[in-house]
A and B are shown apart, each in its own frame.
Chain A
Amino acid sequence: MRIGIVCPYSFEVPGGVQNHVRDLAETLIEMGHEVSVLAPADEDAELPPYVVAAGRAVPVPYNGSVARLQFGPIAAMRTRRWLQAGDFDVVHVHEPVSPGLSMYAAMYSDAPVVATFHTATPRSRAMAAAQGILQPVLEKITGRIAVSELARKVQVEHLGGSAWEIPNGVSVAKFAEAEPLPGWPGAGGAIGFLGRFTEPRKGFPLLREAFVALAARRRDLRLLVAGPGDPDDVLEQVPAGVRERVVFLGLVSEEDKRRMLRSVDLYVAPNTGGESFGMILTEAMAAGTPVVASDLEAFRAVLDGGRAGALFRTGDSTDLCEVLAGLLDDAAARAELVARAARAVSRFDWPVLAKRVLEVYATAIEVHAVDTGPDWRSSS
């Protein structure tokens, strides 16, 4: 099958949607399909061979964080050219209601369009107002996928229509086989965090408080942090003696992320909200690292209600500290979490999920009647 996938966010900045698109594309290629991914990127950017660069992205505040999107007439023209050159059997757009490439691709595609909704935004007035304008775009979409129950609800309540739930996937084998970083986790124990630690809703300050409290009693406990940002911005509140036990890796490659997850005794996701799925949780689970996460609806769903990972009260660093202390002292409890996580994560393995996605493609192709009337293009 010739499959065109559109990612509205720049590949140069790692993110949940970008990772999803990359893993899906690579899994489909391994299964023998022809895949082309259109994404914003500079022409000279280093990209996987299946990615077509659509041009430079602009940072835009969107859904509470900064997204790098690309829009405007040039982006629209390049999307049309890519569609023509690709002659796809199916076009799969991600986040079609974000301004940019996905929306253009849905508008201009002659092939059946499948869309995946990632965001679980609470009801916003802007979105309600936009519904009328978006309707012609949404009408072009034949198959609708949501990555979580929350994202599905957003789709149902705000945009009309329903959505088929296929969760975010993880390439389990790649994570399970990764080599820990040299010298980690070490005898004194290690805790891990990955993400934009300067962004409040990722919850790093909670972990920092909990770690400072734990570090006072545990002389060799270390904290391994990966993600973009300036460590100095978040280290001020850490006492001088503890500061050198917080190790920052900076922005890590996919391979180093897998190694990082294998390098710690506990992985912590202290997010305070806004997460629609919690991709990183499934990755830590695949890596065989026990997970401690905020008690958010999305996290609870991934962690099988708290059986495949420990939950703490969202926003409560004291509770986080207690949960961490309990698990650091109890290797048997950690091993049990890992065993249950391995079972829970197998339903998120990409080869399994890609087959579900292909079923949606097949259905979209079945119901794709040849356009009988003038299309978007003839009137613009």
Chain B
Amino acid sequence: MSERNEGISRRSFVQTLGMGAAAGALQGHAEARLTGQDEGGTGIVGPGPRPITLRINGNDVRLTIEPATTLLDTLRVHAGMTGSKEICDRGSCGGCSVLVNGALTASCMMLACDAEGAEITTVEGLGTEEALDPVQEAFIRHDALQCGYCTPGLVVAARALLDATPRPSLDEIKQGLSGNICRCGTYTNIFNAVLEASGQAPVTDAEVNRG
């Protein structure tokens, strides 16, 4: 055990250096002690699946999941809502951003049980194909994406920002979107989409980079 470091893979070490991520060690599997149900009124549930109800985009959705399930996996795998993206899986990229009672949240780092009873808004809940959210309209008009994988999270983060600050300054936009990474580097277009969605004039790359 003490020399386990001998077998470190380059990949996992690089992951750790980059993002605090690493492959999980395979250790002894905990014995399942209880079923998913609350037996005997102890208030203790799991580790097996149990029914929970999540309120997602205004609908009550009944699901059967283990306590050890993130909100992101619940949305994508169990509820079939794949708008929220899994990218870093450590709360550092913003790709999985959703609103929980209006608060911008990394759904990959939240257990689904923590969202029980809350109003969850995913990107699917912002606008419809016929009537897009103004943020979505502005993202299209400003070509605020390249590969598009970060876009759902950025749209949700922009919505949260504008809900709290209807006319944000460029600096407030940078702050509000600071938990979302676009590795294609489309930031100027993203900021301009948010500026337009809040009725403000666009800026240039030079203004964005000024500080």
The answer on A and B forming one complex is no
Residues of B within 8 A of A (CB): none
